[in-house]
Amino acid sequence: MEVQYGDACLSLQQVYEWSRNFLNGVSSVTNSPRPGQAHRVVAPEATAAVEAFVKENRRVTVLEIATHLDMSHGSAHHIVHDVLQFHKVSARWVPRQLTAELKERRVDACQELLKLFEAEGDGFLGRTVTGDETWVHYHLPETKKASKEWRHTSSPKPKKFRTQPSGGKVKLTLFWDERGVILEQYMPRESTVTSATRADLLKNHLRPAIKYKRREFPSTGVLLQHDNAWPHTAR
């Protein structure tokens, strides 16, 4: 056998072991099937208790479930994820909670816009001007992710110093249509958007800008599209 198989030959001890196995009735040299990991047996009472505890507090952790119900962490994790198939998800951020009246008002506004589009087609979109406010920063510091560099494990780590404080910001009001920007207006510092400042902006800044940049608008009429912020909708 050593001449035939060389270094791959079985050792003398393995030859003796296989000889005993064959004498005891073993007829195959392949490994016998193994049962594998034992299946978890979960009592219905434990599942019901975990489900009730989770529904009572949706933010409870697996460790708190195991401690409160006096069970192992593995059993609590198995019941939550595999049996009940719960998954922790983050709440979606929404600007505000709409009342039934506000929802009906939005539906009416959307239906009115659809009627105008069906009657005028692309001309309706062409004479629509929209605008909103946003914060514009003086300086955007380089983020930690943007400053990453390719280096070896033995190379010294790069250092980043904060040479200047984070930049200030100013409120920008922007108006545009399908052809481009019509007006960009920066508010003075320490000032806020109110109904008075909004009305002054529309009358003394936006209207002259439309007359100068969109001379065909006064004959066709301008449709001002804005959101539901209080300064935008105040009478």
The pair of structure tokens assigned to 47 is: 């599942």
- Whether the model pTM is above 0.75: no
The DSSP line for 170-191 is EEEEEEEETTEEEEEEEPPTT-
Q: How far apart are CA 222 and CA 64, in angstroms?
A: 60
Domain ranges of the chain: 2-27+41-83, 94-122, 127-139+167-235
- pLDDT class of 50 with cuts at 50, 70, 90: very high
Please, is 95 exposed, middle or buried when counting C-beta atoms within 10 Å of its C-beta (0-12, 13-18, 19+)?
exposed
Please compute the mean of the pLDDT values over residues 44-53 and round it to a whole number.
92
211/219 Cα distance (integer angstroms): 10
Tell me what pLDDT residue 218 has: 64
**For residue range 180-198, what is the model confidence (pLDDT) as tens digits?**
999 999 988 778 888 898 8
Q: Nearest Cα to 224, choosing from 131, 157, 156?
A: 131
At 81-110, the pLDDT tens digits run 989 999 888 878 777 788 899 899 889 989
Structure tokens at 169: 């910001």
For residue 182 the two structure tokens come to 């019509």
User: 169: helix, coil or strand?
Assistant: strand
What ranges make up the beta strands (E) of the chain?
128-137, 169-177, 180-186, 223-225
pLDDT tens digits for range 125-158? 888 999 999 888 777 667 777 777 777 677 777 7
